[in-house]
Amino acid sequence: MRWDLADEQEMFRDSLQEWLDRFAPAETVHGWLGTGDVAAFERLLVSNGWLAVGSAEDYGGQGGGLLELALTAEQLGRHCAPSSAWMASVLAIPALAGVPGRAAAVLEDGSFAALVVNADRPPDEPGPVRLWDGRDGGVLRGTVRSVLGADRARQLVVPASTAAGRALFLVDVDTDGVGISGNTLLDRSRSVADVDLADVPAQQLGVDAERVLAQAALRAAVLVAADSLGASERMLRLAVEYSKQRRQFGVVIGSFQAMKHAAASMLVSAEAARSIVYFAAVSVEQGHEEAALHAATAKAQVTAAGEQTADSALTMHGAIGYTWEHELQLVYKRAKLNKRLFGTPSVWNERLASTLPLVPVG
The model's pLDDT over 115-151, given as tens digits with 9 standing for 90+, comes to 999 999 999 999 999 998 766 668 999 999 999 999 9
Q: What is the pLDDT of residue 240?
A: 76
Q: Residues 342, 122: contact at Cβ < 8 Å?
A: yes
Residue 71 has pLDDT above 70, yes or no: yes
Q: Which of 231, 185, 174 is nearest to 36 (CA)?
A: 185
Residue 87 has pLDDT above 80, yes or no: yes
DSSP 8-class letter at 49? T
Q: What is the pLDDT of residue 254?
A: 55
Q: Which residues of the chain are in CATH 2.40.110.10 domains?
A: 114-207
Evaluate whether the domain defined by 114-207 bears CATH number 2.40.110.10. Answer: yes
Averaged pLDDT for residues 57-78: 92
This prediction's pTM: 0.93
Q: Which residues of the chain are in CATH 1.20.140.10 domains?
A: 211-355
DSSP 8-class letter at 334? H
Buried b (16+ CB within 10 A) or exposed e, 271-309: ebbbebbbbbbbbbbeeeeebbbbbbbbbbbbbbbbbeb
Query: What's the fold here for domain 7-111?
Result: Butyryl-Coa Dehydrogenase, subunit A; domain 1 (1.10.540)
Q: Is the dihedral of CA 240, 246, 247, 251 positive or negative?
A: positive
Confidence of residue 105 (pLDDT cuts 50, 70, 90): confident
What are residue 247's DSSP bridge partners?
A: 252
Residue 263 has pLDDT above 90, yes or no: no
Domain 211-355 CATH (choose: 2.40.30.30, 1.10.3720.10, 1.20.140.10, 3.40.50.10470): 1.20.140.10
By CB neighbour count within 10 A (0-12 exposed, 13-18 middle, 19+ buried), where does 359 fall? Answer: exposed
List pLDDT tens digits, range 264-312. Answer: 888 788 889 999 999 999 999 999 999 999 999 999 999 999 999 988 8
List pLDDT tens digits, range 149-192. Answer: 999 999 999 999 998 899 999 999 999 999 999 998 999 999 99
DSSP 8-class letter at 358? P
List pLDDT tens digits, range 8-33. Answer: 999 999 999 999 999 999 999 999 99
- Give Cα 138 distance to the centre of its chain: 30
